[in-house]
Structure formats: structure tokens, C-alpha cells
């Protein structure tokens, strides 16, 4: 998956709209401590559906909205968009580019969009599951996590590799299918009971 650009507005330290264009290959974000490098990684994780404020280094979701500085008043909304290349058709959508957007307001109201159309988070997850860029968000490996990855239990490492190779989707479908099968089985059972009573 090729991430072409990130647009951040009102998210964490980014009060004004900022667009980061990424090239092919490796992109590096440099800057002094506290300048907002990790906030960029947080922004990517956030658009892709991160639900835990703690994983975004805050205590509540509202903490992702720019809280004001000496020079700037706080803003009321955070919005982040990721633009992905789709010339290879990796996403099953008839567009050359796929834009994923997430927005949140101070009252907690939030929205997700695929190519500017409102959607559910589930739609975004499904879109990505096939591509190998799952919920873990592009293998963003934050400070301290490299060691964590190396020390991971083999099952956890397997989960990560499965997500990266796009199997997770089938695993989820299997789980859903088994659940439906179980429900059908129980319905059948009930019908059999009724039949016995009728007879």
C-alpha cells in the first residue's frame, strides 16, 4: 500500500492544516523533541480507527484535538486524511486514489469517510484487511516497541504476520460463518422440538 499524503488539521500539536507528501520508499520524519513527530504517527493510527486514547498518549479521546497554545486558541475539531494510491487497484474501489478521513468534535461526535462519503469504521477495517495494512497501521513501530516486538511471544508475532499477510480477514469471516452455523443449528433444534410436540 502506498501512502501518498497525510493531511492533519486541529490534531494534537497541528492547529493549522498541514499536508505531508510522502514519496515512494522510506520516509523519515525529523525534528527536535516535542516538535510533533510522534503526533504524526498517532494521526495515522487514529484515522485507521484507534479507539484507545491511551495508545494515542492521551487520557480521553478529546485530547487529540488541538488544546491551544500561548499563541493560539483551542480548536473544536480534529481531522486527519490519508491519501492512498490505488492505481494498482489494491483497494476494490474504482478510484485512482482512496482517501480515508476521520473527524472528531469536542462533544465526542465522530465521523469516518472513504473518498468523502460517510462510512462506518467497519468499512475502513474491511477495506484495509485485504491489503496487509491492518489495524496495527502500517507497522508504525514507535520508540520502545522494537524491543517489544523482539520479545513478543511467538503467538503475538504470528498475529502480526498474519495481519501483514492479509489472512486476518479470512479468520474473521470464518469466525462469523461459524457463529451463523451455530445459530442455524440452534434454530433447527427448536424446530425439531416443535415438530415433536405437534406429532
Interface ranges with ligand ATP (CB under 6 A): 12-13, 31, 33-39, 63, 65-67
Of 78, 58, 104, nearest in space to 15 by CA: 78
Dihedral, CA atoms, 1, 97, 11, 127, nearest 10 degrees? Answer: -60
Q: How far is the CB of 100 from ligand ATP (least distance, A)?
A: 21
d(CA 7, CA 20): 6
d(CA 39, CA 78): 13
Is 118 annotated as belonging to a binding site? Answer: no
Q: How far is the CB of 2 from ligand ATP (least distance, A)?
A: 24
Is 165 annotated as belonging to a binding site? Answer: no
Q: How far is the CB of 34 from ligand ATP (least distance, A)?
A: 4
Residue 19 vs 179, nearer CB to ligand ATP:
19
Is 187 annotated as belonging to a binding site? Answer: no
Residue 37 vs 135, nearer CB to ligand ATP:
37
Positive/negative CA dihedral, 106, 59, 47, 117? negative
d(CA 170, CA 101): 25
**Dihedrals φ, ψ of 161, to 5°?**
-65, -35
Residue 66 vs 84, nearer CB to ligand ATP:
66
Is 52 annotated as belonging to a binding site? Answer: no
Q: How far is the CB of 12 from ligand ATP (least distance, A)?
A: 4
d(CA 1, CA 162): 16
Residue 38 vs 101, nearer CB to ligand ATP:
38
Is 36 annotated as belonging to a binding site? Answer: yes
Positions at the binding site for ATP:
32-39
Positions at the binding site:
32-39
Amino acid at each position: 500500500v502506498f501512502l501518498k499524503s497525510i493531511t492533519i488539521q486541529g490534531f494534537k500539536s497541528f492547529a493549522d492544516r498541514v499536508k505531508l507528501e510522502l514519496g515512494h520508499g522510506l520516509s523519515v520524519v525529523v525534528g527536535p523533541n516535542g516538535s510533533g513527530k510522534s503526533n504524526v504517527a498517532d494521526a495515522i493510527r487514529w484515522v485507521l480507527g484507534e479507539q484507545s486514547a491511551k495508545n494515542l498518549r492521551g487520557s480521553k479521546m478529546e485530547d487529540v484535538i488541538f488544546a491551544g497554545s500561548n499563541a493560539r486558541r483551542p480548536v473544536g475539531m480534529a481531522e486527519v486524511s490519508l491519501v492512498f494510491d490505488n492505481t494498482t487497484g489494491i483497494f476494490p474501489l474504482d478510484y485512482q486514489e482512496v482517501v480515508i478521513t476521520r473527524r472528531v468534535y469536542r462533544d465526542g461526535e465522530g465521523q469516518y469517510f472513504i473518498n468523502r462519503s460517510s462510512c462506518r469504521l467497519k468499512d475502513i477495517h474491511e477495506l484495509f484487511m485485504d491489503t496487509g495494512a491492518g489495524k496495527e497501521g502500517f507497522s508504525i513501530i514507535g520508540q520502545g516497541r522494537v524491543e517489544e516486538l523482539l520479545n513478543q511471544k511467538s503467538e503475538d508475532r504470528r498475529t502480526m504476520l498474519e495481519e501483514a499477510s492479509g489472512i486476518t480477514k479470512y479468520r474473521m469471516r470464518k469466525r462469523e460463518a461459524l457463529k451463523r452455523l451455530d445459530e442455524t443449528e440452534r434454530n433447527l433444534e427448536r424446530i425439531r422440538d416443535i415438530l415433536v410436540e405437534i406429532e
